[in-house]
Amino acid sequence: MRTRPTLSWTPTTEDLRPGSTDPGPVADALRAGGVLVLSGAGISTESGIPDYRGEGGSLRRHTPMTYQEFTASAQARRRYWARSHLGWRTFGRARPNAGHRAVTAFGRHGLLAGVITQNVDGLHQAAGSEDVVELHGSLDRVVCLSCGASGSRRDLARRLEAANTGFEPVAARLNPDGDADLTDEQVGGFSVVPCAQCGGVLKPDVVFFGETVPASRVGRCRALVDGATSLLVLGSSLTVMSGLRFVRQAAQAGKPVLIVNRDPTRGDRHAVTRVALPLGTALTALADHLDIPVADSTTA
């Protein structure tokens, strides 16, 4: 069953609780250990990847591709792959920032029960975090919708380059799902390459809007919530149910939910605190407070 995409939510009075600038409760939770991290697009903005719903977020100007549109229309796939191919040149060069490195440091010091990320950028792993559950998949991989074969996005990029010699439009902006803003005129007759094994349709190995997260992956995440002492949400508005359900699960189990996000979130009503500070600043300060060294960008 496919779900209808949720792109926005309307906060109620209960949702609009003031944020705090005191990271103390988060420090206490980390000190106790067993913290499960749930990260969203906000943790990657300092790496040059925009978020969806924050100030200047991409949803103010851009409607993401849905699963239904991608599978139903060859023209939609041409538009997606043209934009994504161009965006990959920047997206694939993004590097972890202080927030990603702090999460890695917390994990290496035994404070975390795991990391679930809603992001598809692979930056937690690039920073050195291990056993990260990629809730929505990864843009590093592609999969064939016909035969199920999977492959490297870098290999696909080389094939697309060869099939589209001279494709060098200037994009307006990069989006958090890895594509770039192009007009239909800029997309032009971009050539989409098929699966090298069966000739089928290739799709990035990510969960599109309107597509469901695989049940086995959801089960793994639920097990992590069950085993955690608390849940720490980093940079997610929690608008999408795929992440919000884990906040609700933790709260229903009586486990503290802590959120670091500058703007109100759909999960605030379930949280004991929301720290309204930039993630890099807040997480680096937390590491300093706990006397945990954070690797710099050259050693992560």
273 appears as a binding residue in the annotation: no
198 appears as a binding residue in the annotation: yes
187 appears as a binding residue in the annotation: no
107 appears as a binding residue in the annotation: no
221 appears as a binding residue in the annotation: no
243 appears as a binding residue in the annotation: no
Region of 56 please: left (phi>0), alpha (psi -120 to 50) or beta: left
279 appears as a binding residue in the annotation: yes
40 appears as a binding residue in the annotation: yes
59 appears as a binding residue in the annotation: yes
235 appears as a binding residue in the annotation: yes
Residues annotated catalytic, as ranges: 136
237 appears as a binding residue in the annotation: yes
What are residue 39's phi and psi, to 5 degrees?
A: -110, 155
144 appears as a binding residue in the annotation: yes
For strands 150-152 and 137-144, give the pairing. Answer: antiparallel
210 appears as a binding residue in the annotation: no
Annotated binding site for Zn(2+): 144, 147, 195, 198
Annotated binding site: 40-60, 118-121, 144, 147, 195, 198, 235-237, 279
Annotated binding site for NAD(+): 40-60, 118-121, 235-237, 279
